Amino acid sequence: MKKIAFFDAKPYDRPWFEKYGLEAGMEFKFFETKLNEDTVDLARGFDGVCAFVNDTVDAPVIDTLYDFGIRVVALRCAGFNQIDLKHAEGKLTVLRVPAYSPYAVAEHAMAMLLTSIRRIHKAYIRTRDFNFSLNGMTGFDLHGKTVGVVGTGRIGRVFIDICRGFGMHILAYDKYPAADLSVRYVPLEELFARSDIISLHCPLTEETYHLIDRSSMPALKRGVIIINTSRGALIDAEALLEGIKSRKIGAACLDVYEEESEWFFKDYSGHIVEDDVLARLISMPNVIVTSHQAFLTEEALSNIAETTVSNLTAFFSGAPLTNRVTPPKEPVGV
């Protein structure tokens, strides 16, 4: 039986991984701590490691895992910016879950948008105090508005379909446009200038880091609503705060945050949050923050566990690795 060290474990992870792990003859040891240079020793004696979005699989961690005889890291997520792929090459095989439930994330993005523009979160609080006034609750129709979708992978495509159902005009940007997708692709600058709503569904790379920052802020349409259910560092959080204060940005719906690894997935309700930017964003009446929960549906959790276990089974059995992650190839001549 293969033993897998499972880091950053949450109560909702265990039933699914125990179920599929048992069926595959695999034993998961669940650690609540995140994987990093200080905790990597917990992986000693295991056959593999299972990591999540806020674990740190950098060069020192990779070298230590390799010294322990570990040769596989199974990411139970789609993104892989948390791992140094170049350093892992030749040492560790990195596997991921590319599509656990695009519907979960896309539906959450739309849920946040509707909550924001129709003031549902405010209405919920107000009516619980038996305050039935409608003052300050005016929203606007999505029908006829222009939404810019950055990233047209599986999640972006589902979000586009949802927006079509609302009768919205859709603009899209992707470094690699999809030939089979009936949508109007435009340069990023045009998407920024024309979109009433911008939803980010692209991976975090060197090119997309701080896609929205002080330099790109002037290109945005005044009053734009920004949705981010992808990776926090796509947006410069301080620049976002400045944009909200200056009224350049009309609202923000954030399921991810640039420095979320220090805060998300934990209960700080009885503590003072020392991240001033996060605290100020949450205090803004036109900002909705959820704690990286867009993926969190029963269907997604089942798919994540099943695919992760299948990835590990394929690795240990020598079968083809369809979900392997490799470092990007350097351009010819570089």
pLDDT tens for residues 33-57?
Answer: 999 999 999 999 999 999 998 899 9
Q: What positions carry a catalytic annotation? A: 231, 260, 292
3-state DSSP assignment of residue 48? strand
Q: What is the DSSP letter of 195?
A: -
Q: Please report the pLDDT score of residue 311 as a whole number.
A: 97
Instruction: Measure the CA–CA gap between 79 and 21, rounded to whole angstroms.
Output: 22
Which tokens sit at 3?
A: 């033993």
Instruction: For 246-302, give the DSSP string.
Output: TTSEEEEEES--TTGGGTTTS--TTS----HHHHHHHHSTTEEE--S-TT-SHHHHH
CA dihedral sign, ordered 125, 128, 130, 134: positive
Ranges of residues in the chain whose predicted pLDDT is under 70: 328-334
> Burial level of 224, CB count in 10 A (0-12/13-18/19+)?
buried
**Segment 272-299, tens digit of pLDDT:** 888 999 999 999 999 999 999 999 999 9
CA angle 42, 321, 89 (to 5 degrees): 60
> 123, 105, 211, 122: which is closest to 160 by C-alpha?
105
Q: Please report the pLDDT score of residue 329 as a whole number.
A: 60
Give how far Cα 69 sits from Cα of 14, 33, 47, 62, Å: 25, 21, 8, 11
CA dihedral sign, ordered 125, 293, 26, 71: negative
The answer to whether the beta carbons of residues 192 and 221 sit under 8 Å apart is yes
Instruction: Measure the CA–CA gap between 172 and 128, rounded to whole angstroms.
Output: 40
Parallel, antiparallel, or unpaired for β 146-150 and 169-173? parallel
For the entire predicted model, the pTM comes to 0.86
Instruction: Measure the CA–CA gap between 201 and 172, rounded to whole angstroms.
Output: 11
Parallel, antiparallel, or unpaired for β 48-51 and 72-75? parallel
**Segment 75-93, tens digit of pLDDT:** 999 888 889 999 999 999 9
**Domains defined along the chain, listed by start:** 2-100+297-325 (3.40.50.720), 102-289 (3.40.50.720)
Q: Please report the pLDDT score of residue 263 as a whole number.
A: 87
Beta bridge partner(s), residue 95: 74, 324
131's CB contacts (< 8 A; 6+ apart) are: none
Q: How many CA atoms lie within 13 A of 216 on its CB side?
A: 17
Q: Please report the pLDDT score of residue 334 as a whole number.
A: 33
Instruction: Measure the CA–CA gap between 172 and 188, rounded to whole angstroms.
Output: 8
Q: Please report the pLDDT score of residue 333 as a whole number.
A: 38
Residue with tokens 């499972």: 6
Q: How many CA atoms lie within 13 A of 214 on its CB side?
A: 3
CA angle 282, 152, 324 (to 5 degrees): 95
Give how far Cα 325 sits from Cα of 146, 154, 274, 313, Å: 34, 17, 35, 16
Backbone angles phi, psi at 226, to 5 degrees: -110, 130
